[in-house]
Amino acid sequence: MKAIVLAGAAVSLLSFSASAADLGPVLPVKALPPPPFSWTSCYAGGHAGGGWGRKDLADTTGFLAPLTGFTAVNLDTSGYLVGAQIGCDYQFAPSWVVGVEGEASGGRIGASTAVPLPLGIPGDGASFKQTTDFLTSATARVGYAWDRWLAYGKGGVGLVGDKYSAVGTFLGTPYDFEGLESRLGWTAGVGVEWALWDDWSVRLEYDYYGFGQRNVTFIDSISGTFGPENIKQNIQVVTLGLNFHVFGGP
């Protein structure tokens, strides 16, 4: 009986082998291609760079001239800044990208200059100094993606913090005027970003900040005298940034 069972099993095995041989060689299974990269994500990161600008002071109110001996100062500024950014992007149709971003930077963009006093007396002298301490913005951006490359433009509102100093002696009387302000304006910029990996990207960006004209209150720490001065300003910055994409991705 056992011999009959073993013989039947052997015949079945030979029949299966013959059928498998008739089917031909087994083809390898091809792996599915990876999904395309997407810029749809939220991100946070940091940046560093340099900035330059222009500050034009005009004594339109006639406040500083009788006390300091100068009526106008034009100052070209430069310096550095470091900061952080956070935002979200959405990619659609299929290569366009839209997003929003908030950015904050601190640093020192400024300059100082000696001010001539044609109406002064021997021994008189004056200097004017300006420093930008912080720069922030809230912007929307639109870009076009080529796989892991993204070129974009952005625009929105900007906020700047400035310190001003006018120090000297006029007609033998010393003075030390200081001014502080936070000024709202607009900003526009362009940039290019490259995704090194799915979660990390680097970017190079240029931004222009326009803050128009505004009166700034100057206070003399020596006499307590104070009054307004008209100052027009703009700032330009170039930064290199690194982002970590915390949500979304391919």
Is residue 53 included in any domain, yes or no?
Answer: yes
Is residue 104 included in any domain, yes or no?
Answer: yes
Mean pLDDT of 58-78: 93
Rounded distance between C-alpha atoms, residue 55 and residue 35, angstroms: 51
For residue 230, CA distances in Å to 27, 60, 75, 106, 170 come to 80, 7, 14, 24, 21
Beta-bridge partner residues of 76: 54
pTM: 0.85
Is residue 5 included in any domain, yes or no?
Answer: no
Beta-bridge partner residues of 237: 51, 207
Q: Please report, rounded to a whole number, the percentage of residues in the chain having pLDDT higher than 70.
A: 85
For residue 224, CA distances in Å to 108, 171, 219, 227 come to 27, 18, 6, 10
Is residue 27 included in any domain, yes or no?
Answer: no
Is residue 4 included in any domain, yes or no?
Answer: no
Task: Encode pLDDT of 81-130 as tens digits.
Answer: 999 999 999 999 899 999 999 999 999 999 999 999 988 999 999 999 99
Q: At residue 80, what is the residue type? A: Y
Range of the structural domain that residue 88 is part of: 38-248
Rounded distance between C-alpha atoms, residue 187 and residue 185, angstroms: 7
Torsion-angle region of 82 (φ positive above 0: left; ψ -120 to 50: alpha; else: beta): beta
Is residue 62 included in any domain, yes or no?
Answer: yes
Is residue 127 included in any domain, yes or no?
Answer: yes
Query: Which of 19-33, 125-139, 184-198, 216-230 shows the lowest mean pLDDT across its residues?
Result: 19-33
Rounded distance between C-alpha atoms, residue 115 and residue 74, angstroms: 10
Task: Encode pLDDT of 183-202 as tens digits.
Answer: 999 999 999 999 998 899 99
Mean pLDDT of 125-152: 97
CA Rg value for the chain: 34
pLDDT at 49: 98
Is residue 181 included in any domain, yes or no?
Answer: yes
214 Cβ neighbours under 8 A, 6+ residues apart: 181, 183, 230, 231
CATH number at residue 101: 2.40.160.20
- Band the pLDDT of 47: cuts 50, 70, 90: very high
Tell me: pLDDT of 5 over 60: no
Specify the number of domains making up the chain: 1
Name the average pLDDT for the chain: 89
